[in-house]
Amino acid sequence: MDFEYIKKQEELWKDIVIKGEILTIKLLTEEAKKDLEKRITDFLKARKNAIESNLYTFQFRSKMHSVDDKTKAMVIRSWANTKNINKHRGLLAYRKAETNAWIYKTLLDKKKTGMFKICKKLILIGSGIYPYSMFDIHKKYKHIQQIGIEIDSSRAAIGRDLVNKSPAKDHIEIITQDGSEYDYTDLAEDDLVFISCDVNSKKIMNKVIKTCKAHIFICAPYEKTWLRSLIQNIKVTKHTGVTSYSD
């Protein structure tokens, strides 16, 4: 096995993942801006029609507004500010999250999706900038409490902001920490731990195995031969209740 080649391909994949997430967030931000700009344009059209009809108030999106300039300025200012753009971005990120993303696909490929139904807590190590896979799970299994662990503080901050402005805010928590230092002792045997493909998993897997009985899976694009070889090379000691994706 050419470990040097595998290492280079692993680093290349990590770079692709990060750049892909950054581009997605950028596109979501631009879409949020455009949606709010259209809302403002529609508001101004409705206001203009009201003025031309000699009305002092008008209804827009189920709310009554005055036609005066003060109301106009206040509405535009509130919709166009960064806080509201980020709020709308978080909603779009949730709505547009990939269906059957890597967390779900991991168990789907192994025909073990029934494990989601009895799981109470799910942890994703390496949740990244855009926790789309966690959003996908929330849409399917709202009873699961999810924790995303991200070692990079800047990436975790963006992921946390998306979650806090989404419908999943009460069911997903993003924390900044090294996955090998997290305390897994409160996980039960029906709980699930997923490790992102761009995370150095060996140390983390050993920590999880030693401290709890949760099932462990590695989320990864298994059509990549080099990555499959890398994962199969990881030596993991199994014990009751623990399942490794390297099976």
188 vs 212: CA distance, rounded Å:
7
CATH, residue 151: 3.40.50.150
Q: What is the pLDDT of residue 19?
A: 74
User: Would you say residue 142 lies in a domain?
Assistant: yes
User: Would you say residue 238 lies in a domain?
Assistant: no
User: Would you say residue 64 lies in a domain?
Assistant: no
Token output for 20: 């892909």
pLDDT beneath 50, residues of the chain = 222-231, 234-247
Identify which of 72, 19, 28, 48 has the alpha carbon closest to the alpha carbon of residue 161.
28
User: Would you say residue 52 lies in a domain?
Assistant: no
Residue 127's domain comprises 98-233
Q: What is the pLDDT of residue 223?
A: 43
User: Would you say residue 102 lies in a domain?
Assistant: yes
Task: Please list, in sequence order, all residues whose beta carbon lies within 8 angstroms of the beta carbon of residue 7, skipping any fewer than 6 positions away.
Answer: none
Token output for 161: 């902001």
What is the dihedral angle through the alpha carbons of 174, 178, 183, 184, rounded to the nearest 10 degrees? Answer: 80
Q: What percent of the chain has pLDDT over 70?
A: 81
- Number of folded domains that form the chain: 1
Q: What is the pLDDT of residue 20?
A: 75
Q: What is the pLDDT of residue 174?
A: 98
User: Would you say residue 155 lies in a domain?
Assistant: yes
Q: What is the pLDDT of residue 11?
A: 62
pLDDT digits (tens, 9 = 90+) for 150-162: 999 999 999 999 9
73 vs 147: CA distance, rounded Å:
41
User: Would you say residue 15 lies in a domain?
Assistant: no
User: Would you say residue 212 lies in a domain?
Assistant: yes
